[in-house]
Amino acid sequence: MVAAVILAAGSSTRMGEPKLLLPLGGESLVRRVAREAAASRASTTVVVTGANRIAVERELAGLPVTLVHNSDYSLGMSTSLQAGLAALPPDIGAAAVLLADQPLVTRGVVNALIASFEDSGAPIVRPRYKGEAGHPIVWRRDLFSELMSQKGDKGGRDMLRHRAAEIVWVDLPHAEIAQDVDTAAEYELLRAAVEQRPPEFSHHHEKSHGEPRFCPACGAALERCTVEGKRRPVCTACGSVFWQDPKVAVAALIPWGENGSVLLGRRAIDPGKGRWSFPSGYVDRGEDVQQAARREVLEETGLHVDIGGLVGVYSAAGHPVVLIVYMARHVGGAACPGPEVSELAGFTLERLPDMAFQHDEKIIREWLAIQRRGAARQ
């Protein structure tokens, strides 16, 4: 079995702010990498934290990952690599090591490397992007002890040089996958490139689940072809069809204050940046829907809630998101805006602010109608 180890401990000295928390396509850099690794064929995913530990751990809430803290992160990348490898179960045969500041690495890339390792049994498997060596790198378990002896900020750099003849290469066509983020200029270029992609998946309460570009089976590029009467992404190498299932999102309406107000947050990211909406987000694979609603509320507001009755289920023709909206009740915690929300406030239904999404006001009106019907029955 092959595990994924994500190095997310750096202090972002060149950036001047915690770069792993920066938004890209609707979610932070570190969450993008962890989500893709967790959805890959890796049997387990370990994320090594260091600087900004609490904020990074909060970004990863709800993902099926194991968190390991490296208190010696200031001594260099090698210490984070060692902490991640030490946390792996004994039945792991290899580790795919990912860098959390390379947010365009997909599950397809990880899967292609794992498949190559399984086929070859090589001690090191590494990708080349249009001829340029890159990450992630798969290391066979018998090399772990040598990796554990590395010092400073080199990681496995010296080993890659000394063992160059032992590397099996996986050639991938898109060089931009290897792009990392070290400076503000690099981040702005990457964000501009991501935001210019076709907005097919951008819709109500969607956190920009971008157009798939690489095959989840082999990592090759996808192209749109007509399959069963509809244009679908098809792998240019193995011919696999990427079937695009609906994306499920949840939202919670939380009464706030004594005057019939509802709690809203001003969005700090696109879509809807600067406008207001209620706590919402995607349901992770294998996650209970109501659990997802509680998690999203906690991530965006700092509040613990009980989930009550259903307000409604919303979808629109031609769009991939199915939104499930619940009523919720505050049972603990103090209101504190999360990374995707700049402020929180209660608003009466008669004086709603500029709402972020086209269905928000309709959902609140339907919630109000449910409350009125309940009051009438009492």
Question: How far is 325 from 8, CA to CA, in rounded Å?
Answer: 33
- Residue 169 makes CB contacts below 8 A (sequence gap 6+) with 125, 126, 127, 128
* DSSP notation for 180-220: ---SHHHHHHHHHHHHTS--TT--TT----PPP-B-TTT-P
* Catalytic pick among 17, 188, 343, 361: 343
The backbone torsions φ and ψ at residue 196, rounded to the nearest 5 degrees and listed phi first, read -90, 0
Question: How far is 101 from 22, CA to CA, in rounded Å?
Answer: 10
C-alpha distances (whole Å) from 292 to each of 201, 238, 321, 338 are 20, 35, 15, 16
**Active site annotation includes 343:** yes
Q: How many CB atoms lie within 10 A of CB 77?
A: 23
Question: How far is 317 from 24, CA to CA, in rounded Å?
Answer: 27
Helix (H) or strand (E) holding 377, with range, is: helix 360-377
Helix (H) or strand (E) holding 369, with range, is: helix 360-377
Question: How far is 103 from 80, CA to CA, in rounded Å?
Answer: 18
- Per-residue DSSP letter, 228: T
Residue positions annotated with a catalytic role? 343
